Chains A and B, each alone.
Chain A
Amino acid sequence: MANDTITDLGEKQKTLLGADELILNMGPQHPSTHGVLRVKLKLDGERVIGSECMIGYLHRGVEKIAEHRTYQQFAPYVDRMDYVAAVSNGLGYCEAIEKLLMVEAPPRARVIRTILTELQRIASHLLWLGTHALDIGALTPLFYCFREREEILKIFEKYCGARLTTHAFRIGGLQYEAYDTLEKDVERFCKAFDSRTKDYEELLTQNRIWLGRTKGIGILKAEDAIAIGATGPVLRASGVKWDIRKAMPYAAYDQYKFEIPVGTTGDTYDRYLVRMEEMRQSRLICLQAIENIPSGPIMAKVGKVLKPPPGEVYHAIEAPKGELGYYVISDGTVQPYRVRIRPPSFVNLQAFDQMARGHLVADVVAIIGTLDIVLGEVDR
């Protein structure tokens, strides 16, 4: 394979038996690179002695597109970044622009946003769990996860008509009033979800093979995680208690009680446990939120044409995969001067090399899975 010419993976290293190194190209078409990630691995037998992630296969120039769209027109584009958590992307963008406009969404809109975003977090984590388990060879959890995710997508569909790229929120609030049985649907989902998480745990949490495949794999120390700027479950599993929902509350998160699960060792198993617990916490937030949805308007008073005053703003939310930040500069026209997006997957992916080094090929797929990357977001 003529892949040695593309980039160099450094000096020739000593291999265990003095054999030649093997360069293995994983992706961009590979069953477990979660899209079009391409990983170049330098192998000694099956052991990884060097790796390089190559990205950009899904680059669509989202940030540049923003400069040629009005503020409202750009909102659907952010759904296409992390396409398995479109609601969260939308929330971050809408709130960033609201900050720029110096308006606040009304309380009712904020609570409904919180409910949908937390459901989206559960959906995103379910997709992660299913694919991660599939990468490690457990076939069945995927279908159970999709069964539950389907319920969430049905709620989205009932709310805004779309399932995946929802464009659920508008700058200043919501376009759609909550449909009549939203609370009931969410409650029914949450009630059923509790016992269903137990199903996954039975299949995986205490499974000896699962423990063997995830414990001690891809350890990311807290200081390393902070140094590369990792956020979300990847950071928390390393033992750093940092969650923007608590640290800088947005939407309606300051009203609800929830725990931030943290791990201890920062290995793949810890990240698994953290995400599992996050799903349960999200479920609790949803249950609290539907108990008391305030009445009132769903849209703040914003004009039909948005012309934020010149200035800049950075707003970050805790997306399912970590800190999703929007840095927006306005020059006073209807179009943003610049939108810089800080995608959590992109930043977390930096940890890949130090996590994978010294492990086996089989662990590489476990590590890609545990980082929970979405290439739409990495490449933008």
Chain B
Amino acid sequence: MQGVIQATMDFVKQYWAPLVCSLAIVAILPLVAGYIVLVERKIMADMQARLGPMRVGPHGLLQPIADAVKLLIKEDIIPDEADKLVFWLAPVLSVAAALLAMAGLAIGPAFQIAKDINIGILFVVGVSALGIFGIVLGGWASNSHYSLIGALRSSAQLVSYETAAGMALVCGLLFAGSLNITSIVQAQYDQGIWFGLLAPVAFFTYLVASIAETNRAPFDLPEAESELVAGYMTEFSGFRWSLYFLAEYTNMIVVASVATTLFLGGWLRPFPRTTWLNFLDFLPPLAMIGVAAYCFMRTPKQPARVQQMFMLAVAGLCLAVALVLAAPLVVPAVKPFHDGILGAFWFILKVSLYIYFFMWLRFTLPRYRFDQLMRLGWHFLIPLSIINVLVIGIAMIVGQYFNLTGGALLLTTIPASIIALIVALFILASEQKSEPQKASAAPDSYA
């Protein structure tokens, strides 16, 4: 008995931080995902000359909570012909994979659940890819043709684009020399330049592939609402549906975090070792003060008293965050702790911009057709990413030979990237020549 208690105490002592972090992820992430949806709807509304959600709370700010409540109390419908067990399991699998992938990520040096696992990136990529089982099984279990087609599309899409994404990640890993997330960021600090700048083609490839992997427009074929009603989610409703939704948005955060870690310097500020850019460290508190001031100025213009109170509250919150961010200027003792918070600021900013880019594309571009998507993947992105790994590797060896580090590496990697692009475009052009318009015209066998 004593031994068990002792063992439990030891366990808690050793793992209290990851436990708290994982609880926070499971408890807070649904809320974050809900607010990402709200932000997406607001951005979409802004681009489409309308207001978006305005009814629930000031400027619709409580909309995600209202939606969540609505989804939770909805009737739980399972189609008669569905495979009940798989139907039940599929969304859970999807969301579990997405949440599990979050465990390997680090928002700052201090905020990580699975601390310093040496296969960090590999773990995240591998586990998040497991989410596809939820989609395929869900589509299969619903026993609906739309769902089935959506599921098939999704699996084909993931297989194609995971290759390109993986190859793109390899480029970043070549520079880092490690799969460990902390080491990757540290390597970018040592080089003084983000890997995204050293290997722009790899970053671009990963960007496109990650959109396809998370089933976002213009690659949202598995759930293409105008073709397949809702694709694999067609037969799902209520809470199960919201689990899929949570998985999708969590996956967005995951791919954005991976891209940020590997290509955008993780929690480092832009050009972390360029001293004349040191003023950027003051940017976060200043930005928060700016937002607070804006809210404060807008307060008298709000028509209702509730809205005024709300604006004041937001201003206060921003000021508080600014104070936390600016604390070490006053109290130097908290500096180490503060670096973590500053890092988290940069990390979240980069992830937000990455996700914003996803949204921007979604509202701007039409949807690819399935065969076009496959052609883009297999005929362009995969050759491009493979060639890119090759030429970046050569560029690194050349760089080592001439003892180039940091920004000077650009001298070799930029020409290498250009070569990779040209070769890939050449391959694309020659393939288009060899099979003229096969997809757009009806094949003869059906004529």
Physical interaction between A and B: yes
Residues on A facing B (Cβ under 8 Å): 1, 13-14, 16, 22-25, 30-32, 46-47, 49, 133-140, 142-144, 147, 203-204, 207, 209-210, 212-213, 215-217, 357-365
Is the pair B369, A32 in contact by a Cβ cutoff of 8 Å?
no
Docked CA distance A138–B217 (Å):
9
Residues on A with beta carbons closer than 8 Å to the beta carbon of B367: 136-138, 209, 213, 362
- Chain B window 404-443, contacts with chain A (Cβ cutoff 8 Å), 1 for yes, 0 for no: 0000000000000000000000000000000001001111
Docked CA distance A212–B367 (Å):
10
Docked CA distance A31–B226 (Å):
6
Residues on B with beta carbons closer than 8 Å to the beta carbon of A133: 366
B45-53, B82-90, B263-271, B328-336: which lies at the interface = B45-53
Is the pair B446, A49 in contact by a Cβ cutoff of 8 Å?
yes
**With contact pairs A136-B367, A213-B367, A365-B227 given, residues A358 and B446 touching in the complex (Cβ less than 8 Å):** yes
Is the pair A213, B366 in contact by a Cβ cutoff of 8 Å?
yes
Q: Does chain A have a CB within 8 A of B372?
A: yes
**With contact pairs A22-B145, A143-B48 given, residues A358 and B224 touching in the complex (Cβ less than 8 Å):** no
Is the pair B365, A362 in contact by a Cβ cutoff of 8 Å?
no
Docked CA distance A313–B224 (Å):
47
Interface residues in B184-228 (C-beta closer than 8 Å to A): 217-218, 220-221, 224-228
Residues on B with beta carbons closer than 8 Å to the beta carbon of A140: 47-48, 363-364
Docked CA distance A135–B367 (Å):
9
Is the pair B366, A46 in contact by a Cβ cutoff of 8 Å?
no
Most buried by B among A14, A32, A364: A32
Query: Smallest CB-CB separation from A204: which chain B residue?
Result: B366
Residues on B with beta carbons closer than 8 Å to the beta carbon of A143: 48-50
- Report B419 CB to chain A, min CB distance, Å: 24
Q: SS class of chain A's interface: helix, strand, loop or mixed?
A: mixed
Docked CA distance A319–B229 (Å):
31
Residues on B with beta carbons closer than 8 Å to the beta carbon of A360: 369-371
From B44, B366, B441, B443, give the contact of A137 (CB < 8 A).
B366
Is the pair B366, A207 in contact by a Cβ cutoff of 8 Å?
yes
- Chain B window 344-384, contacts with chain A (Cβ cutoff 8 Å), 1 for yes, 0 for no: 00000000000000000011111111111000000000000
Residues on B with beta carbons closer than 8 Å to the beta carbon of A24: 145-146, 149
Is the pair A209, B365 in contact by a Cβ cutoff of 8 Å?
yes
**With contact pairs A357-B442, A358-B442, A363-B369 given, residues A139 and B149 touching in the complex (Cβ less than 8 Å):** no
Residues on A with beta carbons closer than 8 Å to the beta carbon of B229: 30-31
- Report B29 CB to chain A, min CB distance, Å: 26
From B48, B371, B372, B447, give the contact of A144 (CB < 8 A).
B48
Docked CA distance A360–B372 (Å):
11
Is the pair A139, B226 in contact by a Cβ cutoff of 8 Å?
no
Q: Does chain A have a CB within 8 A of B6?
A: no
- Report A121 CB to chain B, min CB distance, Å: 23
Is the pair B443, A358 in contact by a Cβ cutoff of 8 Å?
yes
From A135, A147, A357, give the contact of B226 (CB < 8 A).
A135
Residues on B with beta carbons closer than 8 Å to the beta carbon of A13: 446
From A25, A31, A46, A216, give the contact of B225 (CB < 8 A).
A31
Residues on A with beta carbons closer than 8 Å to the beta carbon of B218: 137, 209
- Report A308 CB to chain B, min CB distance, Å: 46
Residues on A with beta carbons closer than 8 Å to the beta carbon of B14: none
Docked CA distance A316–B441 (Å):
35
Is the pair A212, B369 in contact by a Cβ cutoff of 8 Å?
yes
Q: Which 5 A-B pairs have the closest CB atoms?
A: A358-B442, A137-B367, A216-B440, A143-B48, A138-B366
- Chain B window 145-156, contacts with chain A (Cβ cutoff 8 Å), 1 for yes, 0 for no: 110010000000
